[in-house]
Amino acid sequence: MRFFTFSWLILIVAVHVTIPAPVEATPRRSGGVLVVDFGLPRFGEDAMRTRTLIQVLRPGIAARVLHYRQVTPQRLARENPRAVVIVAPPASLRRYPTEALSALESAVRGFRGPLLAIGTGCHLLVHAWEGHVGPIETEEPFSGTHDVLLIQRDPLFEGLPKKFAAVFQSHDEIQDVPEEFVRLAVTEGDRVVGLRHSRRDHYGVQFHPEAPLGARLPARQVLCNFLAIAGYPPSTPQAR
């Protein structure tokens, strides 16, 4: 009897020793480019078109779209993209729910990878870092094709002339650049339309390099350059 008792004791101890301890789940490292959509109330054409354009410019790239209401610091950490592009329609941030914008702004501040904020997305980037965005002091929105003047060279504008045309469509403007940011581009009226975080590859452009009307304008190169900054091999822009 003692022999069997001792044998069962050895078996129990052996089983106990070989059972591995629980391992915490690690975040999914999916990489690729995450396109954040500012569509009201659902997904908008701008984000879908930008995702398609990214895949055209970089064949084989993994690009996916999330609605801005889905983007929180926790969700962004789980997605763990290589880069983020924020695309917004020509609407003021004043039209969006404050709570949802606060969560997205917190996610933006916590993201360390390359980020490109376009149009109203640029305004969100500025607001996230305590800059100021306000209405344009004219009756008409700032829209159509206008010249962009580079005031500081940066990899985002690699290959572009000091003055180039781009498509704009906005009701608001950047009135106070955050302390952490550097001005990169302005219009002829000295309106800030391009900026970069001083310690991160976080960029904001007021114009729309993804716009169909700008397919053959030099500004399309900005999107190509951003993908290169994000670590994807450069390729020639294709008109779409």
DSSP string across the chain: -HHHHHHHHHHHHHHHHHSPPP-PPPPP---SEEEEE--SSS--HHHHHHHHHHHHHSTT--EEEEEGGG--HHHHHHH--SEEEEE--S--GGGS-HHHHHHHHHHHHH--S-EEEETHHHHHHHHHTT-EEEE-SSSS-EEEEEEEEESS--GGGTT--SEEEEEEEESEEEEE--TTEEEEEE-TT--EEEEEESSS-EEEESS-TT-GGGTTSTTHHHHHHHHHHTTPPP------
User: What pLDDT sits at residue 118?
Assistant: 94
User: What pLDDT sits at residue 140?
Assistant: 60
CATH fold of 28-229 reads Rossmann fold (3.40.50)
User: What pLDDT sits at residue 7?
Assistant: 45
User: Residue type for 171, please?
Assistant: H
Q: What are the tens digits of pLDDT across the range 123-163? A: 999 999 999 999 887 756 677 889 999 999 999 999 999 99
User: What pLDDT sits at residue 235?
Assistant: 53
> Residue 66 forms beta bridges with which residues?
36
Q: What are the tens digits of pLDDT across the range 21-62? A: 333 333 344 589 999 998 765 556 778 889 988 988 888 899
User: What pLDDT sits at residue 41?
Assistant: 58
- Please tell me the pTM assigned to this model: 0.82
**Given pLDDT bands bounded at 50, 70 and 90, which one contains residue 3?**
very low
User: What pLDDT sits at residue 8?
Assistant: 39
Q: What does the mean pLDDT of the chain come to?
A: 82
**Given pLDDT bands bounded at 50, 70 and 90, which one contains residue 164?**
very high
Q: Looking at residues 217-230, what average pLDDT do you find?
A: 92
Q: Looking at residues 51-79, what average pLDDT do you find?
A: 91
Residue 176 pLDDT exceeds 90: yes
Q: Looking at residues 66-87, what average pLDDT do you find?
A: 94
Residues of the chain above pLDDT 90, percent: 55
Residue 95 pLDDT exceeds 90: no
**Given pLDDT bands bounded at 50, 70 and 90, which one contains residue 6?**
very low
Kindly report the number of other CB atoms within 10 A of residue 127's CB atom.
Answer: 18
